[in-house]
Amino acid sequence: MRQRLFPIALLLASLVSVAGLAGPGGPSPALAASALSGQVSFSTFLGGNDVESVAGVAVDADNNIYITGTTSSTDFPANGSIQSQFAGISDVFVIKLNPAGTQVIYATYLGGANLDQAGGIAVDATGHAYVVGLAGNVGSGSKPFPVTPGAFGAANVARGGTFVAKLAPDGRSLVYSAIIGSNGYTQGEAVALAPDGSVIVAGTTSDGLPVVNPVQASYAGGQGDLFIARLSPTGDALLYSTYLGGSGSESEFLGRIGVAVAADGAAYVTGVTRSTDMPLKNPAQATGGDGLGDAYLASLSADGALRFATYLGGENGANSGGVVVAPWGEVIVAGFTQSDDFPRPAGPIFGTSTGASRSFVTRLGANDGAIRSTTLIAGGWYVQGAAIDAAGRVTIVGRGPVNLMPIRLAHQPVFGGVEDGFVVQLSGDGGRLIYSSFIGGDYFDRAYAVAARPDGGVVVGGETRSAPGTFALVNPVQPTYGGDIADGFVRALDVIHEVAIPALGR
């Protein structure tokens, strides 16, 4: 007898429909709150009296949740772990929550007298959090971003650049805080941890990046190059550092820079380029970067040698939004495209809209960069993050006017406002849409980050600009909107299990 995978949640939805309450098309208004709380274990604001946005989330082996973002609030709920006072135009914040999301274990500012911004966060097996972002330059006599003696670039902190901060497990001290600077700007956007404890950082930069064993030794011009660097486990030396850029621009545009590391120490960096002369090696797609720009993927060995590099795009462009490494020997890039000729040798299309933006999830060989398949989600827009769990399920998040996106087993099935966040989970092979949902209230809401939990769930972070009372909360650690135009948010979603049941009929 044939069997097929069937989500438990869909079985429950069918039973509810039979009872005359709500069908698969969406809950009645009276059931909206309870429907949201079904898969959502918690949903909370994070903010103070000014503007906040969550840039990165991570989860440790015990399901504790680590969050970083940017704040301009003088009363952000920091408990004095490292820095209890707001210091500048904007500061980075770092928060650790318990698995239920009901308790703040630590919360701290990290910042100096200028504009500091968070880019991403990772956590190791012992609970050390690693945060990267932008440390603003400061004048003589002004307070710089906090650094530690002996850390790489600490002596040049007043010039600013990419910061890499390692926090102690209790959040009360910095193990190290290093600066990777340049003559112009260098902004860390993504971070991943290598098996030996070194830290892989990716972002954008201009002239003057410190290079070590570079693939590309000099700045290519335009409005910024990608860079990728590997910082030693003790934070005091660069093991490699290189530009990856062309004569155009490699800024973020509407996507996100992403970085991931395989078990052998190989690194993968993805970004967006408007350069037709990017460094390539054994490319799956040898041309790109013109017009609206294309996604770009490069892989470096553990010692920084270029393994492969390729464009990913089409006639109407493409933007990357994240990269993950699958344990079965694939690297998976997520993003969005409006190109009908985006490379898709195999793979399904979910949804029916045409001629509009589509989210893509492309699988490539981890060693050779050959494109194996692409899954498209019609109506999906600006993908901002990706995660993969132990079972191989891939989750992407993003933002946009995504009301045409196919919605399945949604914790929020109704498009909320002008722009919503979204979350989509696919099976490891990309062949099944497990669930997809809106995240938002009555105005602008954006999902910027996602992390997989060991228990199979995911944690999503971003920002909300919706009116209080329209952005749904569940068991919030901060139940009230902080103020001004935007608060950060974090929402935890439980796993939707799929079970094999006999297929009906022949």
The label of the residue with tokens 């290093």 reads 178
pLDDT band at 66 (very low <50, low <70, confident <90, very high): very high
Per-residue pLDDT at 491: 98
Are 182 and 156 within 8 A, CB to CB?
no
CA 336, 338, 342, 346 dihedral sign is positive
Q: One-letter amino acid identity for 404?
A: L
pLDDT per position as a tens digit, 155-184: 989 999 999 999 999 999 999 999 999 877
The label of the residue with tokens 């003589």 reads 140
Instruction: Average the pLDDT over 79-103 and give the result.
Output: 94
The Cα 39–Cα 293 span in angstroms is 37
Smallest Cα–Cα separation from 393: which of 115, 5, 1, 3?
A: 5
Task: Count CA atoms within 13 Å of residue 312 on its CB side.
Answer: 34
| pLDDT top residue among 99 and 32 | 99
Helix (H, G, I), strand (E, B) or coil at 9: helix
Smallest Cα–Cα separation from 94: which of 122, 113, 114, 74?
A: 122
pLDDT per position as a tens digit, 453-472: 998 899 999 999 998 889 99
The tokens for 6 are 């069937």
**pLDDT over 90 for what percent of the chain?**
78
Q: What is the dihedral of CA 47, 398, 133, 267, to 10 degrees?
A: 150
Mean pLDDT for the chain? Answer: 89
Per-residue pLDDT at 38: 67
The Cα 171–Cα 186 span in angstroms is 26
pLDDT per position as a tens digit, 473-501: 999 999 999 988 999 999 999 998 765 44
The Cα 46–Cα 482 span in angstroms is 7
For every residue of 240-251, DSSP letters joined together read: EEEEE--SS--S
Alpha-carbon distances of 100 from 41, 103, 182, 381, 493, rounded to whole Å: 7, 8, 41, 30, 11
For the cut 50, the answer to whether the pLDDT of residue 45 exceeds it is yes
Q: Which of 34-38, 193-197, 379-383 has the lowest mean pLDDT?
A: 34-38
**DSSP summary character for residue 303:** T
Smallest Cα–Cα separation from 136: which of 155, 121, 118?
A: 118
What does R_g of the chain's alpha carbons equal in angstroms? 22
319 forms beta bridges with 336
Per-residue pLDDT at 352: 79
Per-residue pLDDT at 393: 97
| pLDDT top residue among 37 and 240 | 240
Q: Which residues contact 122 (CB under 8 A, 6 or more apart)?
A: 58, 129, 130, 191, 192, 193, 199
Are 458 and 395 within 8 A, CB to CB?
yes
The Cα 261–Cα 413 span in angstroms is 34
pLDDT per position as a tens digit, 325-369: 998 999 999 999 999 999 999 999 999 765 578 999 999 999 999
Q: What is the dihedral of CA 342, 323, 216, 228, to 10 degrees?
A: 150
Q: 30: burial class by Cβ within 10 Å (0-12, 13-18, 19+)?
A: exposed
pTM over 0.95: no
Give Cα 495 distance to the centre of its chain: 19
Q: Which residues contact 187 (CB under 8 A, 6 or more apart)?
A: 117, 119, 133, 134, 162, 203, 204, 205
Alpha-carbon distances of 334 from 17, 181, 424, rounded to whole Å: 34, 29, 11
Alpha-carbon distances of 408 from 216, 251, 427, rounded to whole Å: 44, 33, 14
The label of the residue with tokens 């390692």 reads 166
Query: Can you list the alpha helix ranges (DSSP code H) found in 168-260?
Result: none
The Cα 3–Cα 351 span in angstroms is 24
Give, rounded to a whole angstrom, the gap between the first and last alpha carbons of the chain: 9
pLDDT band at 291 (very low <50, low <70, confident <90, very high): confident
